[in-house]
Amino acid sequence: MRTADIAQRYLDFFEKNDHVIVPSASLVSDDPSLLFTVAGMVPFIPYLTGVVPSPHPRIADLQKCIRTNDIEEVGKTARHGTFFQMLGNWSFGDYFKEGAIRYAWELLTSSESDGGLGFDEKDLWVTVYETDDEAESIWRDIIGLKPERIQRLGRADNYWNTGQPGPGGPDSEIFFDRGPSYGKDGGPAVDDTRFLEIWNLVFMQDFIENVRSGTEFDITGDLPQKNIDTGMGLERVAFLKQGVENMYESDQVRPVLDRAVELSGRRYGAVHQDDVRFRVVADHVRSSLMLLSDGVRPSNEGRGYVLRRLMRRSVRAMRLLGVDEPVFPELFAASRDAMKVTYPELERDWSILSAAAFAEEETFRRTLAQGSTILDLALGETKKAGGTTLSGSEAFLLHDTYGFPIDLTLEVAEEAGLDVDRSAFDDLMRGQRERAKADARNRKRQFADVSVYRQFRALGETGFAGYTELQTESRVLGIIVDGHPAQTAAEGDVAEVILAETTLYAESGGQVADKGTIVGAGFELDVLDVQRPVAGLISHTVHVDSGSVAVDDHATTVVDAANRRAARQAHSATHLVHAALRDTLGRTATQAGSLNRAGYMRFDFSWAQPLSAETRSEIEDITNRAVNDALEVTTRIVSLDEAKEAGAMALFGEKYGDVVRMVDIGGPWSRELCAGTHVSSSAEIGLVSVVGESSIGASNRRIEALVGQDAFRELAAERTVVSQLSAALKAPRDQLSTRIEELQANLKAAEKRIAQFEAKERAGRVPALAEAAQPVGSYRVAATSLGEVGSADDVRTLALSVRERLGADAAVVAFGGVANGRPIVVVATNDAARAAGAKAGALVRIAAGVLGGGGGGKDDVAQGGGTDASALDAALAAVVSELAGA
């Protein structure tokens, strides 16, 4: 049974049983404390906690999930994978334990011909929470499961909670017995490898407080509404139904593994380490493709870093399998074809997704080439010094700074006949992980606690009148001070104010929040920020400038009209720039993020190469022609399906409901789903001036522009500068470029002549400086302060020239100078001096210590500096003293 068929059977079954089927939420979680959707229940947290009323009493879904906390275990076991899919059925105050258990058992054990999954009852075991007599009774007396196949377990295994105060409840898990060849008998309490969990039924009934850990908390009461939260692991059920050993061999993953086998020429099932690498490739390529499809792009931070790590681990694994050529064109295409039945957008958006993937592989291949060069040098130095082991610190530097994988370092070192101090490397890696974990703990990466908003959201959605009005009469529904509900906020307080209706725009879709005030009888509030902490609720962070505001007070929201006008101009300009980009570069240039505020817009888009000056100028020209054409701007509220049929841009990473707001500028020329505020005609934008274009990652670029009056002021300032240059250089405006190029050429020629004079002058000083060398112990030592110098290079050049002139006798040169007010010291030794024990690096550190600084280098030449220029003579004397005592 194909994976897609299993999912469809599940959804069909629950739709037949009065569940509303909802699409998967994005892998990019709405929860600000989570990078990704890590479990099927994450999108439903607001409904499960009661903060937001559920739109339906019964829901079922297939949810995409990503977990990377066990990434090092991927490929080694049957259960570890980064991307996985959870089938879930949800009841919000409707059916409870008996209903959930009946539905699960019926679907699992009904025959395939009747639409079920066809599991044999004798192969299924269940666990229940240790005190849940009700669940055990249902399994035993209603379902008819034999008592010996029902096991009770404690909080660590059979109790669910979010990790903080709020809802929780016991759960019941269903396990499949894979047979005696997979482990010991005795049920899941004995061996959870043989007995594989396939479905978890959470009975959310308790309110918990005083949470001290995942198993230490107090159950303080019952929830007002009991919920059902279930999850069936699609990949686990798929590989069991398909009769294969693990998820990597199931139909949605195996095609990538098979293509990797073909590319490598090695056989799957022959060598354990190779098998692990094949499974890593299969898992990581699929995970990367799904992350790309939800708008994540490779970068060095956050979600982008996770994606980059997955992609680079794939390339590394293929290289260790003997494949040095680019592999993503083959592997990602195989994953697309395996997943497109369930996720047709993978085929629809293939050109965009593949461009990002292929660019990242090319970037990493360049990184590997650079790392290989650095590694070769390090191995050469190790051999030259007579060593047999590359240090762990050098291996870690290659890994941490250059992204060069330790596996490849080990491989290359072995080829060179050297070992790597793996123990020291592992210690450094362990320290890095501990620092990362400590940082994560400091940031308390748990589900965000938004329970404080529950009572306000229960009163209904906040009305937004700001599309057509700048002021509206409203009522204060709630006040939050220091994270807790309050009845009042007094003068000087900073508080959150919840209103029944507002005209103030809450930050979203790249548009920053409105500025403005909230006024009423006896109070005035300065609006500092406006946000949507939970769906349907708008919260105003305010400073109470005067008076006191209380719950139930009448209030008027007043938007700063000038700021709103400029923000509307910037947001509409962003849509124009997006359309101009697609006109110029093609449909693969899609939005990857934006920021709009009064007078300024920033637009990030998927593109691997810098824009030429001509392309940038063309985009700016198309945008401003659209402004000049006074294109009509219209908005319509339509269904999501209608909007997509009309060709509206549904942007990667954005989340949309069933009903959306579609914004047209010039009809279909610019048609996007957008909840922001906009002008009514493109002519109102006034002017768009592109002021910057830069890279923000391997396959992402950023355009920045000023809009409206800000754009005019910028151009006016540039005109003033041009006029001043024209007057100063005595050249007409159209000849300024030529005149500046002439001046640059003259300056370069003058600098070259000066450098020649300085080099000649330095060369002229060499004989006298060499003659001044004095015998010190067993060395000839030239130690001189050169006074003011142009740079450290001048001191170094003289030191090397004098060392050469001193001949083959043991000679040490120690020169100092002052460049830009800071002292510099350079020490150079010849072969004979080094053989006698004089090391430049050690000597320069002595001098630099006197100068209040530091330094270092090799035994033949080293350089240092400090802060105390007046101590330069003393620093050189310290070098001489050290040599005299040697």
Lowest mean pLDDT among 373-377, 471-475, 658-662: 373-377
DSSP at 101:
H
> H/E/C letters for each residue in 489-535?
EECCCEEEEEECEECCCCCECCECCCCEEEEECCEEEEEEEEEEEEC
pLDDT for 446: 43
Among the listed residues 506, 508, 548, 511, the one whose alpha carbon sits nearest the alpha carbon of residue 527: 506
- Per-residue pLDDT tens over the stretch 379-390: 888 888 888 888
pLDDT at 623 exceeding the cut of 90: yes
Q: Residues 6 or more apart from 391 whose CB is under 8 A from it? A: 382, 421, 424
pLDDT at 223 exceeding the cut of 90: no
List phi, psi (to 5°) of 61: -160, 165
Mean pLDDT to the nearest integer, 549-573 = 96
Helix extents (H) in 385-460 = 392-402, 406-415, 422-442, 454-457
Sign of the C-alpha dihedral, residues 600, 603, 608, 611? negative
Between residues 75 and 96, which one has the greater pLDDT? 96
What proportion of the chain, given as a percentage, has pLDDT over 70?
96
Mean pLDDT to the nearest integer, 604-633 = 93
pLDDT for 652: 45
Inter-CA distances, 578 with 62, 365, 646, 660, Å: 32, 31, 17, 20
pLDDT for 400: 74
Q: Residues 6 or more apart from 132 whose CB is under 8 A from it? A: 152, 158, 170, 172, 203
**Dihedral Cα 71, 75, 79, 82, nearest 10 deg:** 40
Mean pLDDT to the nearest integer, 245-274 = 95
Determine which helix (DSSP H) or strand (DSSP E) holds 689, and give its type and residue range: strand 688-697
Among the listed residues 775, 822, 830, the one whose alpha carbon sits nearest the alpha carbon of residue 795: 822
| Maximal CA-CA distance, the chain | 107
pLDDT at 448 exceeding the cut of 60: no
Among the listed residues 241, 240, 251, 237, the one whose alpha carbon sits nearest the alpha carbon of residue 282: 251
Cα(206)–Cα(131) distance, rounded to whole angstroms? 13
Mean pLDDT to the nearest integer, 468-477 = 96
pLDDT at 35 exceeding the cut of 50: yes
pLDDT for 651: 58
The angle formed by the CA atoms of residues 741, 747 and 752, to the nearest 5 degrees, is: 130
pLDDT for 79: 65
Among the listed residues 649, 691, 879, 686, the one whose alpha carbon sits nearest the alpha carbon of residue 781: 879
Lowest mean pLDDT among 249-258, 428-437, 559-568, 727-736: 428-437
pLDDT at 455 exceeding the cut of 90: no
Cα(745)–Cα(270) distance, rounded to whole angstroms? 67
Cα(219)–Cα(223) distance, rounded to whole angstroms? 10
**Dihedral Cα 178, 184, 190, 195, nearest 10 deg:** 0
Inter-CA distances, 436 with 32, 66, 305, 401, 490, Å: 18, 19, 14, 16, 41
Residue reference for tokens 């009845």: 487
pLDDT at 415 exceeding the cut of 80: no
Strands 150-153 and 124-129: parallel
Q: Are 590 and 681 in contact (CB under 8 A)?
A: no
pLDDT at 356 exceeding the cut of 50: yes
Count of C-beta atoms within a 10 Å radius of residue 715: 14
Token representation of residue 21? 């089927």
pLDDT at 851 exceeding the cut of 60: yes
Q: Are 308 and 299 in contact (CB under 8 A)?
A: yes
Cα(794)–Cα(616) distance, rounded to whole angstroms? 43
Query: Which amino acid belongs to residue 755?
Result: A
pLDDT for 433: 65
Q: Residues 6 or more apart from 461 whose CB is under 8 A from it? A: 536, 537
Mean pLDDT to the nearest integer, 184-188 = 93
pLDDT for 120: 96
- 554 annotated among ligand-binding-site residues: no
Among the listed residues 514, 434, 433, 511, the one whose alpha carbon sits nearest the alpha carbon of residue 466: 514
pLDDT at 283 exceeding the cut of 90: yes
Token representation of residue 685? 């934008």
Cα(170)–Cα(182) distance, rounded to whole angstroms? 28
Q: Are 84 and 216 in contact (CB under 8 A)?
A: no
pLDDT for 47: 87
Q: Residues 6 or more apart from 89 whose CB is under 8 A from it? A: 14, 19, 58, 59, 60, 100, 103, 228, 230
- 19 annotated among ligand-binding-site residues: no
Determine which helix (DSSP H) or strand (DSSP E) holds 567, and give its type and residue range: helix 561-585
Among the listed residues 300, 253, 258, the one whose alpha carbon sits nearest the alpha carbon of residue 78: 253
DSSP at 870:
G
- Mean pLDDT of all residues in the chain? 90
- 674 annotated among ligand-binding-site residues: yes
Among the listed residues 88, 96, 145, the one whose alpha carbon sits nearest the alpha carbon of residue 119: 145
What proportion of the chain, given as a percentage, has pLDDT over 90?
64
What is the arrangement of strands in the sheet containing 822-829, beginning at the earlier edge strand?
A: 774-776, 779-788, 811-819, 822-829, 861-865, 854-857
Q: Are 253 and 247 in contact (CB under 8 A)?
A: yes
Strands (E), 133-217: 150-153, 159-161, 166-177, 195-209
pLDDT for 654: 52
pLDDT for 445: 39
Beta bridge partners of 707: 688
Cα(184)–Cα(180) distance, rounded to whole angstroms? 6
- What is the Cβ-side half-sphere exposure of residue 361, based on CA atoms within 13 angstroms? 23
Helix axes 406-415, 392-402, angle to 10 degrees: 130
Beta bridge partners of 672: 649, 663
Start-to-end Cα distance in the chain: 82
Collapsing DSSP to helix, strand or coil, 468 comes out as coil
- pTM here is 0.72
- 399 annotated among ligand-binding-site residues: no
Cα(489)–Cα(14) distance, rounded to whole angstroms? 48
Residue 509: pLDDT band (50, 70, 90) is confident
Cα(544)–Cα(527) distance, rounded to whole angstroms? 9
